[in-house]
Chains A and B, each alone.
Chain A
């Protein structure tokens, strides 16, 4: 809650000793292991790490759709998963989650009606839908069935749904996978535009390291742990690297070396 936060600008996401176990019964395994980090407001934070390192699980925990979460995880001042947060967060899953048998506009109309129901809100909804379609540059395909769109176009419909209702926090799970370079650039411009003009916070995951350069802050993850939290510049300087990718690899090697050392030190075991 906000009680222990000073006035002013508390983090959009605050995690402390955050762990997640996944699976059921005896196959339960720890996927995220006592993470501590903050996602600052009004900025783009990139969540980077190899496939399978727990990025999606962390994102689900933040939007409140992940079970078996322990520790502290506050989102926009409320505990993650609080019903009050449901209209304040926009969430894009890795696979585009839209109805293939509806048109682009019909998809957005429905999700808009869920976010902002009632006949009185009809005009506001129509405006939000039109803006979201324009944001993701799909105006010319608004009448097409989502199932007939290309993969990249479908993921943009999915993104447009998350942009409805002007969320304060956007959680985007690999939104640029499979998009061509031009579209990727346009989307990153849109992300920057959303943080600067709409004041929203974006948490975006990627396993493509060159996207890291476009983020304000980085959370580097590996095997369920946070490897580093820094700005791209600071990370490159600290690791004496020219790119974030190189810096990340240095950190991984370092972590591996430390792990190997720990395994060799006998007093650790007892």
Chain B
């Protein structure tokens, strides 16, 4: 059997609507998802009050990192709940394709990510004075791809977590190494060669790279296209791996 059996647009849409409905019953989570990035960027702006150039660099990178982390956390917990509550078993005993379920989650959290990114990007550009040479639409595109990557990673690691405790521990385990190596703290080519090599294979490096391209170039550069392509490809790859972890049968 293939991992993506019988995708159906209507079932995908119904799943996305269901995930958003669940979220709507949890206004506090929505507020946290939307406001935390905004507050952190504001904080950062005044931390680097004396050096706006530094704020430009780090701020732009964070616009890509926030959606990745948020979506990673929400998806890993949401799918873990789905696995432990028995609803996953029920859904997979129904005519629902695994692709429908995954695409439904990706759509729903993608929509939240767009909202989050619009708020954060808008605030950074027009209130906090983030100096970006390229188009804000490209910033938004990278943010969306990052959100998709976060959703994919969250879905994947939830298969290895037996409880919410373990699931949140995967955040530092999966995200922090990427955060340290993505070029946010030190340029990647100044790292120890081994770490530089490692950072070359981690998707967040390309997410941050893509943001930096928009920061410094007016046009869509070839490097930007490459970065966006790599992030998108990684997200799809991990989503496919995640689909394999959704097993119809109890061992």
In the A-B complex, list the 5 residue pairs whose CB atoms are closest, starting with the nearest: A97-B86, A117-B10, A113-B14, A67-B249, A110-B18
Query: Residues of A within 8 Å of B, CB-based: how many?
Result: 36
Q: Please tell me which stretch of B92-100, B150-158, B182-190 contacts chain A, meaning at least 4 of its Cβ atoms lie within 8 angstroms of it.
A: B92-100
- Cβ 8 A contact of B21, one of A63, A64, A87, A102: A102
- The interface residues of chain A lying within 8 Å CB-to-CB of B18 are 99, 102, 106, 110
24 A-B contacts, Cβ less than 8 Å apart? A23-B251, A64-B93, A65-B249, A68-B251, A83-B5, A83-B95, A86-B94, A91-B90, A91-B93, A97-B85, A97-B87, A97-B90, A98-B85, A98-B87, A102-B22, A110-B14, A110-B18, A111-B94, A113-B11, A114-B91, A114-B95, A115-B94, A117-B10, A161-B90
**Cβ A65 vs Cβ B89 within 8 A:** yes
Residues of A whose CB lies within 8 Å of any CB of B are 22-24, 60, 63-68, 81, 83, 86-87, 89, 91, 93, 95-102, 106, 110-111, 113-115, 117-119, 145, 161
The yes or no answer to B192 lying at the interface (CB within 8 A) is: no
- The CA-CA distance from A145 to B249 in the complex, in Å, is 29
- Cβ 8 A contact of B251, one of A22, A96, A113: A22
Say yes or no: A114-B11 contact (C-beta < 8 A), given A86-B95, A91-B93.
yes
**Cβ A65 vs Cβ B95 within 8 A:** no
Say yes or no: A63-B14 contact (C-beta < 8 A), given A83-B5, A95-B86, A145-B25.
no
**Cβ B95 vs Cβ A87 within 8 A:** yes
**Cβ B251 vs Cβ A93 within 8 A:** no
Closest residue of chain B to A164, judged by CB?
B94
B1-21 CB contact bits vs A (8 Å, 1 = yes)?
000011010110011011001
- The interface residues of chain A lying within 8 Å CB-to-CB of B93 are 63-65, 86, 89, 91
